[in-house]
Amino acid sequence: MSAIVEAQHQPSAPVQAAYSYCEAVTGQQARNFAYGIRLLPAEKRQAMSALYAFSRRVDDIGDGTLATEDKRERLEATRDVLDRVRKGLVEEDDTDPVAVALADSARRFPIPLDGLDELIDGVLMDVRGATYETWDDLKVYCRCVAGAIGRLSLGVFGTQPGAQGADRAPEYADTLGLALQLTNILRDVREDAGNGRTYLPSDDLAKFGCSDGFGSDTPPPGADFAGLVHFEVRRARALFAEGYRLLPMLDRRSGACVAAMAGIYRRLLDRIERDPEAVLRGRVSLPGREKAYVAVRGLSGLDTRNIARRTVRRRP
């Protein structure tokens, strides 16, 4: 019986090739998230790679050098691909491997594909050059480009039968996405400034005398740059703490994947907190061996158990 079930889960050759393509994209480009995705069993790993490859495509259009109108057109073309996936119109021999892999994943897992529309909407906001006055404004953007990825991933992970508070799992997955995105914004502050983009809320920039932006490897004169960074780090930490409530609801390997992704980003945040100006000098990153260590820790379940204990303690 189990052999029959196994056989049913074996993708056909073209679908397998499509997944191999998505896994190659993930391995080459997901410098941090690949460490978590690798910890998943094959079917979930393939589905996460399909989600990653689609998201990468959307993100690359947004970050690319095309003119604004061409970017818009390309983004709407990815929305058409998504519509074909949603309507079950993508055949196994389609020439787009990402569409084939995504269509197969959507058949296997209850992935809320509308989250990918949100991602496209978020990148369109970016292409339009949106700026954010308050954290509430920035949150709208972060929900689209990262919260949605958390909710999509949860569709692949699922929650464990009988997990307490599982109805709040999408909310926690979304919050974890916000935590990662805010960390990403802090890490990339200089690179984004170079591309004419500022994501941090203008209210926060004004409060710390940083409204003139970050065009050089030292803070603008008179600015309390460290104060600004520490303020945003505290905000990100609170989001991590809330989002981590998801972990005890997941099975062991999905929990390991999330713990590795979040753990690597939390360590980035630690580094940024210790030396805020480092983000002006270049891209803060972790050495490969440290990322591997965080992944192994995730697999050991240590982080998940600690969080479960803290969550239980906090309950009234």
Tokens of 211: 């409204």
Least separation, in Å, of the C-beta of 103 and ligand FPP?
21
Least separation, in Å, of the C-beta of 224 and ligand FPP?
26
Question: Which of 14-22, 88-96, 173-181, 203-211 is the region at the interface with ligand FPP (rule: CB under 6 A)?
Answer: 173-181
Contact with ligand FPP (CB under 6 A): which of 62, 115, 122, 177?
177
Closest CB to ligand FPP among 33 and 141?
Answer: 33
- Residue 85 has φ and ψ, to the nearest 5°, of -65, -45
Contact with ligand FPP (CB under 6 A): which of 19, 21, 33, 240?
33
Asked if 146 is part of the footprint of ligand FPP (rule: CB under 6 A), the reply reads yes
User: Which residues within the stretch 245-274 sit at the binding site for ligand FPP (CB under 6 A)?
Assistant: 258, 261
Asked if 128 is part of the footprint of ligand FPP (rule: CB under 6 A), the reply reads no
Task: For residue 157, give every residue at least 6 positions away whose Cβ sits within 8 Å of its Cβ, in sequence order, or none.
Answer: 44, 250, 251, 254, 257, 258
Asked if 294 is part of the footprint of ligand FPP (rule: CB under 6 A), the reply reads no
Question: Which of 28-36, 190-198, 204-212, 232-240 is the region at the interface with ligand FPP (rule: CB under 6 A)?
Answer: 28-36
Which positions from 88 to 127 touch ligand FPP by CB under 6 A, shown as an x/- string?
----------------------------------------
Q: Is the dihedral of CA 306, 308, 314, 316 positive or negative?
A: negative
Tokens of 28: 């080459």
CB 175 within 8 Å of CB 242: yes
Least separation, in Å, of the C-beta of 291 and ligand FPP?
10
**Which residue shows structure tokens 């996460």?**
48
Q: Where are the alpha helices (DSSP H) in the chain?
A: 2-8, 13-29, 33-37, 42-63, 68-86, 97-108, 114-127, 135-142, 148-157, 169-187, 189-194, 202-207, 225-243, 252-274, 278-281, 288-300, 302-314
Is 131 strand, coil or helix?
coil
Contact with ligand FPP (CB under 6 A): which of 10, 27, 28, 31?
31
Q: Which residues of the chain form contacts with ligand FPP (CB under 6 A)?
A: 30-33, 146, 149-150, 153-154, 173, 176-177, 180-181, 184, 258, 261
